[in-house]
Chain A
Amino acid sequence: MAQAAPSRFDQEALVHLDVLYGAAMRYTRDPRDAEDLVQDTMVAAYRFFDRFEAGSNCKAWLFKILTNTFINKYRRRVREREVQTQLVEEEAPSLISEEAREASRNPERFLPSSNLLSEDVKRALDAVPTDYRMAVVLCDLEDFSYKEIAEIMDCPVGTVMSRLHRGRRLLQRSLREYAVEQGIGLHSVPAEAVHDNVVPFVKKSGS
């Protein structure tokens, strides 16, 4: 970082550079665009760092700027996706029911490959429509709560839930189909283990 920059910016914002770059790669799917997006984000964050409340979540604040900047820069695509999202959300209940019935009949068919590869996840994730992909990235990769994601994406929590649901199912379907094409086994967990009691899940703090 430049010598004259405030150290608080270095300590609180620049430490998230790699994480922002990784998310920007998933948002844009292009290294050059990702660099431009992160640079725009960091410059905006620096200019408005006095608006950042000390002690609050700097990573969430940076992701808000990153996501805003991305949406503004790719507005035309976002408009197209908005129409798509509405259609999918209307379809969602029946899809949930069908997939759930199938999953309960053949649970092992719905489990990930035991050797899920980073390159495969990247390829499948990049193919998920942008709004859903952003929700999956923010929740599964960055571990933000639904409330934080709603703030970052500037939408209601219900919309976060539907985008996340749809994004995950598309991602899973893509990875399952790819595994079948490649002849990779899908059974990472023995069928009997699937019917064991569900392990406790830890509630996120602050959610």
Chain B
Amino acid sequence: MKSAVHCEGVWRFCDAFVDGEFGDVERAEFESHLEGCHDCQAIVRAQATWKQAVRAAAPREKAPDVFRARLDAQLAREVASKEALKAQVDAALGEVATVPPRSFVSRAWPYAACGCIALALLVTRGPHAGVTADLIAKHQRNLPIEISGGSDNVRRWYADKVDFPVRPPVFVGAHPGALRGGRLANVRDHQAAYLFYEVDGNKVSVFIFDAGELPMEARHHQVIGNREVYFDAERGYNVALYRDHGVGYAIASDLDQDQMMKLVSSAVSH
């Protein structure tokens, strides 16, 4: 019987064959062609030989001892920091432990501010509550996505629609497909890019805007990494705002406060 695979198919998919990526059917068809074609055998043999030779001779550097010691020290600091933060959050949240989860989180922040000096929370409420309410209102609605696709696609779409660069944040450690899409939006009458994410099964809304138009001072304030982050909470929803390279970012979600802090600390805009 004549093979379903031709020489051009072998040339094109030789790598996949050598790498063991074929299913049984494709593999059988490929091998059937090779049996009768010495030229293709030579090509496949050459690629398999190269793969083995490169693998065998590839450099395998080990992490230097000095670096291991530095990493150990860094991780030890992380351990201490994580435990301290957990103790502070537990202490703050423990005071309202009988309150149901959603309102529990929103009410926990004033307590945390009183009890956790190390967190340096500054609690005030003022005109910014309007921004928070606006962000949460948009987050709650199922607004249609106007652009979907990967980060680059989304970025390009916004390029001629808003007056600031839209760099969709990447949440380190989250699933690569976390970014679902985006649309145009207004936050307190100011133009914003509204991005939709799904992180660990939770809806997360990210608003990007001109930081000069929406002031972020006087919220619950905390330094996370090298960022000044402003937190607010309303009706069980949490909002975090921060600046990055002169652009404002607001994240709204129903994640709890601890998860929200982790999410913000993992956000990278490139």
Contacts and interface: CB of A to CB of B under 8 A. Distances in A.
B56 A116 contact: yes
A199 B48 contact: yes
Interface stretch (B16-24, B124-132, B203-211): B16-24
B57 A118 contact: yes
A119 B57 CA distance: 8
A45 B150 CA distance: 23
Contacts of B43: 100, 103-104, 107
Q: Is the interface of B mostly helix, strand, loop or mixed?
A: helix
B48 A168 contact: no
B59 interface: yes
A116 B217 CA distance: 61
B8 interface: yes
Interface in A1-54: 1-5, 17-18, 20-22, 25-26, 31, 35, 38-39, 42-48, 51
Interface string A89-100: 000010011011
Nearest to A23: B61
Contact of B266 (A47, A82, A197): A47
A140 B58 contact: yes
Interface of B: 7-8, 10-12, 14-22, 27, 31, 34-35, 38-51, 53-64, 67-68, 70-76, 78-80, 82-83, 150, 152, 170, 172-174, 176, 200, 262, 265-266, 268, 270
Interface of A: 1-5, 17-18, 20-22, 25-26, 31, 35, 38-39, 42-48, 51, 64-65, 68-69, 71-72, 75, 82, 93, 96-97, 99-100, 103-104, 107, 110-113, 116-122, 125, 136, 139-141, 145-146, 151, 154, 161, 164-165, 168, 171-172, 188-189, 193-199, 201-204, 207
Q: Which 9 A-B pairs have the closest CB atoms?
A: A2-B76, A48-B173, A104-B39, A107-B42, A100-B11, A21-B63, A112-B53, A203-B20, A154-B176
